[in-house]
């Protein structure tokens, strides 16, 4: 084998090994991005789900938060208080279940900063579009992420003032 073919084969093997490592051993940043993407998927409803399917998604969505999670959106919506704790989040989502129709939630422009082995910050834009509507509500959020038992969970969510005020109906 001539030298250029050996270099090409070696480069291909190294690239394949790096690709496999990237896929099977994702970085903490990618794990956080995946967790945030999973939240958006759990918050998305086709409008055709039955109550059991909605409850399963709500339970999964609540499971992305720590037991003592805080959600604060008072900077952009006139609310005197936020939500505190996974159980409060679950209760609010369950109370809204009869009103959940089609809803598409997406996250954009996610930036992640690893603080230490068990803490990180994420900045993202979340957008939501109701069933068949062209209007999209978008809001920037800062998340404080906490790694518990090997899983990245949301410890706090705060709406960032200065992006766009969400459309509340």
- Please indicate, yes or no, if residue 36 is contained in any of the structural domains: yes
List phi, psi (to 5°) of 76. Answer: -120, -15
Tens digits of per-residue pLDDT, 8-44?
666 676 676 666 655 666 789 999 999 999 999 999 9
Q: Which helix (H) or strand (E) holds 7?
A: helix 3-24
Residue 135 lies in a domain: yes
pLDDT at 50: 87
Is residue 96 in a domain? yes
Residue 46: inside a domain? yes
Q: How many domains does the chain divide into?
A: 1
pTM for the full predicted model: 0.76
Instruction: Note the pLDDT tens digit of each residue in 41-93.
Output: 999 998 888 889 999 999 999 999 999 999 987 666 665 667 899 999 999 88
Q: Please report the pLDDT score of residue 102 as a whole number.
A: 86
Query: Domain for residue 168, yes or no?
Result: no
Q: What local confidence, expressed as pLDDT, does residue 136 receive?
A: 73
Domain of 10 in residue numbering reads as: 3-159
Question: Is residue 169 one of the residues assigned to a domain?
Answer: no
Spatial distance between the Cα atoms of 16 and 20, rounded to a whole number of angstroms: 6
Q: In whole angstroms, give the CA distance from residue 146 to residue 127.
A: 23
The answer to whether residues 108 and 96 touch, using CB atoms and an 8 Å cutoff, is no
CATH of the domain at 119: 3.10.450.50
At residue 138 the predicted structure's pLDDT band, cuts being 50, 70 and 90, is confident
Q: Does 149 reside within a domain?
A: yes
pLDDT of residue 110: 93
Give the integer Cα–Cα distance in Å for 13 and 155.
Answer: 41
Is 166 domain-assigned?
A: no
């Amino acid at each position: 084998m001539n030298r250029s073919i050996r270099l090409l084969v070696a480069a291909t093997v190294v690239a394949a090994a790096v690709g496999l490592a990237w896929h099977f051993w994702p970085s903490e940043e990618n794990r956080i991005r995946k967790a945030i993407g999973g939240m958006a998927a759990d918050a998305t409803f086709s409008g055709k789900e039955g109550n059991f399917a909605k409850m399963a998604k709500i339970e999964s969505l609540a499971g992305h938060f720590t037991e003592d999670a805080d959600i604060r959106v008072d900077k952009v919506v006139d609310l005197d208080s936020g939500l505190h704790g996974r159980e409060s989040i679950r209760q609010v989502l369950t109370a809204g279940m009869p009103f959940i129709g089609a809803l598409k939630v997406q996250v954009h422009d996610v930036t992640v900063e690893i603080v230490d082995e068990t803490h990180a910050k994420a900045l993202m834009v979340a957008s939501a579009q109701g069933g068949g509507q062209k209007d999209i509500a978008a809001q920037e959020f800062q998340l404080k992420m906490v790694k518990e038992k090997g899983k990245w969970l949301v410890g706090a969510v705060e709406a960032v003032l200065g992006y766009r005020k969400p459309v509340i109906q």
